[in-house]
Amino acid sequence: MEPLAAFEVLGTAEGRQDPYPYYEAIRAHGNLVPLKKGSLIAVGYRECAQVLREPALQVQDGTAFDRVYPDWRSHSSVRAFTDSMLYSNPPKHARQRGTVNTDFTPQQVAWLHPVIEGMTTQLLDRMADLGADGSAVDIMDEFASRLPIAVVSAMLGFDADRQVWFRDISSAIAVSTDGFTNPAALATADAAMDELADHFGDVITRKRACPAADIVSALVQLHDADPAKLSHDELIGNMMLLLTAGFETTAFLIGEGVRMAIGNPHYATRLRAQQPFAAAYVEEILRFEPPVHVTSRWATAEVTVFGRHIPAGSRVVVVLAAGNRDPRRYPDPNRFDPDRANSQPLSFGGGVHFCLGAALARLEAQIVLPMLARRFPHIALADTATYRDRWVIRGLRTLPVATGRAA
């Protein structure tokens, strides 16, 4: 199968259901190969890593959107992402990221350890109640999607009683990261973004009147002191990004971790027993089933990566999930093996846009998976798990379980 044909399948329901065979079809032609004129695809580990670090290969920002989607400003969800650090390039990117960078270091997020344990205990209590009569409980709905939004809401200083609303609205907005391929979903994303921006307006007013020790209060103070450091639109865009970026992604990481442990009880046993195993297990879940499968970069000037010439103006599709299964980097890559040494999967990206929340996501998963394994030693699948019909951010839609007797 030609690379372009395989790539096109990835845009269909069949490809989204199981994209891995199509990654291999592309890899059969090379690790960084042309798709068609003006576009290439990276599926090798070191090629993906290098593309993300190459200064001439940048994210698609407002200026780039102007060339390809002149109408993009009429979509509030796309506008908000474009105002955030994720869709900004240097030097604007560093200015925006610098406003929150120190809040997300591993040392800084460590204070959340007891907070995450407390929130997890509450959610596990709720699951135990829901499953006590033998009813199936959907881990994705009742647990995996609730914890990340609760944690990030606490960091940002958002109302605890709005978490389910935040979760649903973030899901709708996240669809716009799939680009302009799905106009119907984009309309829903825009409506959700308008609603969220209204709510953020109220939050900003409250934080301005009554600042607290949270990230949004600090960002509002920064904006008020000098809007050139963070404009109003950038404030809204980054508040939206911080809320949404870590929610579905971390939920998918936790969900996959639970699914794998149910299917392989010896991992559940190890999760219950030793804390160091949780870290290795989470890294292998990240490698094997990464929540973010793909990102893209655009060449602002011509550049050569591992011998492949990339003309200015080209798009490079960076398939992180394929790089994570590159046989040159990982022996027997399609085997799940938490005992791999020095794994360093590509799942959090690389270069200047390396995931801001990587330490937080790892911490959450490393805490909750052992807690869940201890609390529900007899947990079992109650029905088939289903995957969402998406490619860029891919993961479980449902994971129905019978909790069994709680410990």
C-alpha dihedral sign at 11, 16, 18, 24? positive
Whichever of 163 and 249 has its CB closer to ligand HEM, that residue is: 249
Least Cβ distance, residue 347 to ligand HEM (angstroms): 5
Q: Report the distance separating Cα 307 and Cα 303, nearest Å.
A: 10
Whichever of 58 and 403 has its CB closer to ligand HEM, that residue is: 58
Whichever of 16 and 353 has its CB closer to ligand HEM, that residue is: 353
Least Cβ distance, residue 384 to ligand HEM (angstroms): 24
Cα torsion through 348, 278, 20, 24, rounded to 10: 80
Least Cβ distance, residue 111 to ligand HEM (angstroms): 15
Least Cβ distance, residue 69 to ligand HEM (angstroms): 18
In the Cβ-directed half-sphere of 227, how many Cα atoms lie within 13 Å?
4
Q: Report the distance separating Cα 336 and Cα 321, nearest Å.
A: 14
Whichever of 64 and 85 has its CB closer to ligand HEM, that residue is: 85
Q: Please give the residue whose beta carbon sits closest to ligand HEM in the complex.
A: 357
Whichever of 270 and 287 has its CB closer to ligand HEM, that residue is: 287
Q: Are 379 and 137 in contact (CB under 8 A)?
A: no
Using CB atoms within 10 Å of the CB of residue 281, give its burial: 0 to 12 exposed, 13 to 18 middle, 19+ buried.
Answer: buried
Whichever of 131 and 148 has its CB closer to ligand HEM, that residue is: 148
Q: Tell me which residue of 186, 180, 142, 192 sits closest to 164, measured CA to CA.
A: 142
Least Cβ distance, residue 382 to ligand HEM (angstroms): 25
**Residues with Cβ < 8 Å from 213, sequence gap 6 or more?**
none
Least Cβ distance, residue 407 to ligand HEM (angstroms): 27
Q: Which residues bind ligand HEM (CB under 6 A)?
A: 85-86, 97, 152, 241-242, 245-246, 249-250, 253, 290-292, 295, 347-349, 353, 355-357, 360-361
Q: Report the distance separating Cα 22 and Cα 322, nearest Å.
A: 9
